[in-house]
Amino acid sequence: MSRLPEPDNPTEVVVGVGPLSPTEVVAVARHGARVTLSDEAAEGITATRRIIEDLAVDSRPHYGISTGFGALATTSIPPEKRARLQRSLVRSHAAGSGPEVEREVTRALMLLRLSTLATGRTGVRLETAQAYAALLDAGITPVVREHGSLGCSGDLAPLAHCALAVLGEGMVRVGAAAGADHATWTQTPQELLPAGEALARAGIAPVELAEKEGLALINGTDGMLGMLVLALHDLGTLLTTADVAAAMSVEGQLGTDDVFAADLQALRPHPGQARSAENLRALLAGSAIRESHRTDACTRVQDAYSLRCSPQVHGSARDTCGYARTVADRELAAAIDNPVVTLDGRVESNGNFHGAPVAHVLDFLAIVAADVAGISERRTDRFLDVARSHGLPPFLADDPGTDSGLMIAQYTQAAVVAELKRLAAPASVDSIPSSAMQEDHVSMGWGAARALRRSVDGLARVVAVEVLTAARALDLRAPLTPAPATAAVVALLRESGVEGPGPDRHLSPEIETVVDLVLDGRVRAAAEQVTGLLS
């Protein structure tokens, strides 16, 4: 499912010695921004390559340059076999299996590996780094398989599939070249081709790997980091949209906004909670529905937790995302390889390829997605129960009994929430040793990232059903009118072909329409036309 580009997305990204921004990663991975290598990066790559070439003729063994890899690190490789060593490394490590990974994930992975190459800390040749930029620019996406990475030494198998394509081997997908307009980029069919043929079509020469280069192309956390950056981008939209959905539910269920008062939230000074409550106050401002029960006749003292505690749950999710962004920013600034060329010219082995820092926050975010989806489903369910919906018809049906209304939409929500709970089981607590016990503790970060992608998609679907349900409930409160911000969301749905209350109809297309509106940010944007930018 494609995402619409944001107005501030760059159309060209220059990869230099410094870190890429999350916005740049999303622009290249998802929207086809062009990629170039900076002059400063080219100079640094050329300078450090000389260090590797000097070590290649040294009589002493140097890991990954004149030795084998992993458990074979003690095996000395003679000069005449070293090019074959690097080529064999890539071929043997391109051992993934299962469905193809999404294009945006593979492009993010390649861009982030290029970013590390650009730091000059890996010792590759300039033409090797330039080949990665050329593939990204030509819209050539290596076929990477779902299974194969243990997240240590980085994402070996996925990165090896990308390196294999740079050699002109393996299979790739070819679509629109970078820089195409969004419609062309997202809608051009992805043709499956042998990599050699695709490179020839694009005028790109296959790379003949030299000493250390194969190792430098596969030793990084780029896959799990790319998926983390993409997930955080989407969660930024989804958590604000969850506030929009919660406001619609509070309003539609005749709840109170008094509990969202700033002074009450300040008694527990979590920043995410304060931002969520601020959003809710802005979204509910001017609601005639809310004013209708602000009387002595209303005997309810407190709303249910799923309504009253929305800022606490959504806010904690925001704060967790904040920590995850800190980790992502640190990783984007990292130069991960093993061995690595230090700033003073040493070539040293290290353990920076271990994916634990990224794996942990990937797992945290899957927990967040499950919890926010869980409270969204509980708010939705209250609309459908005549004993708890404060005067709404059973299941919001037009003719209850003959019609089932939104009964099964909530079933779909519940099924997704159950799946999200399973996906929230942390991957990073597991470790299966590999490479003859040389790699005896691994992060499983790639698996955590794959689970998080499914979790983000599931959260969007759950929030979409809540928005769909709350919009119908707000219509059923007529002639009372909702707040201008929530009314704008209802209007968006109706303009998009999602009908209001009435006899039963095919619901699945309407749910998918709202999922699209949630994922690409249009639900959030509709509310923000009234409130201004929500946090």
Give the pLDDT confidence of 397-417 residue by residue, as tens digits: 999 999 999 999 999 999 999
Is residue 63 flagged as an active site residue? yes
Rounded Cα–Cα distance for residues 322 and 339 (Å): 31
The pLDDT of residue 60 is: 78
Q: Stretch 117-140: mean pLDDT, rounded?
A: 96
Tell whether the torsion through CA atoms of 277, 278, 283 and 285 is positive or negative.
Answer: positive
- The neighbouring-strand residues paired with 14 are 36
Rounded Cα–Cα distance for residues 444 and 429 (Å): 8
Cα separations in angstroms, 376 against 65, 239, 245, 257, 521: 54, 11, 8, 17, 18
Hey, is 303 helix, strand or coil?
Answer: coil
| Helix runs in 167-270, H state only | 182-187, 195-202, 213-218, 222-252, 262-266
Asked if pLDDT for residue 179 goes beyond 90, the answer is no
pLDDT band at 72 (very low <50, low <70, confident <90, very high): low
Rounded Cα–Cα distance for residues 140 and 199 (Å): 8
Asked if pLDDT for residue 132 goes beyond 80, the answer is yes
The pLDDT of residue 70 is: 63
The pLDDT of residue 357 is: 95
Cα pseudo-dihedral 396, 397, 400, 406, rounded to 10: -80
Hey, is 175 helix, strand or coil?
Answer: coil
The DSSP secondary-structure symbol of 345 reads S
Rounded Cα–Cα distance for residues 302 and 312 (Å): 16
Cα pseudo-dihedral 224, 157, 356, 52, rounded to 10: -100
Burial tier of 54 (Cβ tally within 10 Å: 0-12, 13-18, 19+): exposed
The pLDDT of residue 68 is: 67
Whose tokens are 């201004």? That residue is 532
Residue 90 identity (one-letter amino acid) = V
Give the other-Cβ count within 10 Å of 170's Cβ: 21
Percent of the chain residues past pLDDT 70, beyond the cut? 96
Q: How far is CA 133 from the centre of its chain?
A: 22
Phi and psi (nearest 5°) for 249?
A: -70, -45
For the chain, how long is the longest CA-to-CA vector? Answer: 91
pLDDT band at 7 (very low <50, low <70, confident <90, very high): low
Is there a contact between 428 and 479 (Cβ–Cβ < 8 Å)?
A: no
Residue 437 identity (one-letter amino acid) = M
Tokens of 56: 């290649």
Q: Stretch 57-83: mean pLDDT, rounded?
A: 73
Phi and psi (nearest 5°) for 258?
A: -60, -35
Cα separations in angstroms, 198 against 33, 109, 119, 145: 20, 19, 28, 19
Contacts (Cβ under 8 Å, ≥6 apart) of 372? 238, 239, 242, 313, 314, 317, 459, 463
Hey, is 383 helix, strand or coil?
Answer: helix
Whether the link from the prior residue into 153 is cis, omega within 30° of 0, is yes
Contacts (Cβ under 8 Å, ≥6 apart) of 534? 240, 243, 244, 279, 282, 283, 524, 527, 528
Contacts (Cβ under 8 Å, ≥6 apart) of 429? none
Whose tokens are 């969007």? That residue is 460
Least confident of 69-83, 99-113, 227-241, 334-348: 69-83
Is there a contact between 244 and 518 (Cβ–Cβ < 8 Å)?
A: no
Asked if pLDDT for residue 311 goes beyond 90, the answer is yes
Give the pLDDT confidence of 29-52 residue by residue, as tens digits: 999 999 999 999 999 999 999 998
What separation, in Å, do the N-terminal and C-terminal C-alpha atoms of the chain show?
Answer: 25
Is there a contact between 30 and 230 (Cβ–Cβ < 8 Å)?
A: yes
Is there a contact between 55 and 62 (Cβ–Cβ < 8 Å)?
A: yes
Number of H-type helices and E-type strands within the chain: 21, 9
Tokens of 268: 């527990």
Whose tokens are 């049906």? That residue is 397
pLDDT band at 334 (very low <50, low <70, confident <90, very high): very high
Contacts (Cβ under 8 Å, ≥6 apart) of 344? none
Tell whether the torsion through CA atoms of 507, 509, 515 and 521 is positive or negative.
Answer: negative
Q: Stretch 19-23: mean pLDDT, rounded?
A: 97
Whether the link from the prior residue into 271 is cis, omega within 30° of 0, is no
Rounded Cα–Cα distance for residues 236 and 521 (Å): 10
Given the residues 63, 305, 323, 411, the one annotated as active site: 63
Asked if pLDDT for residue 24 goes beyond 90, the answer is yes
Whole-structure pTM value = 0.95
Output the average pLDDT for the chain.
Answer: 93
Rounded Cα–Cα distance for residues 204 and 524 (Å): 42
Tell whether the torsion through CA atoms of 90, 104, 8 and 461 is positive or negative.
Answer: negative
pLDDT band at 58 (very low <50, low <70, confident <90, very high): confident
Whether the link from the prior residue into 5 is cis, omega within 30° of 0, is no
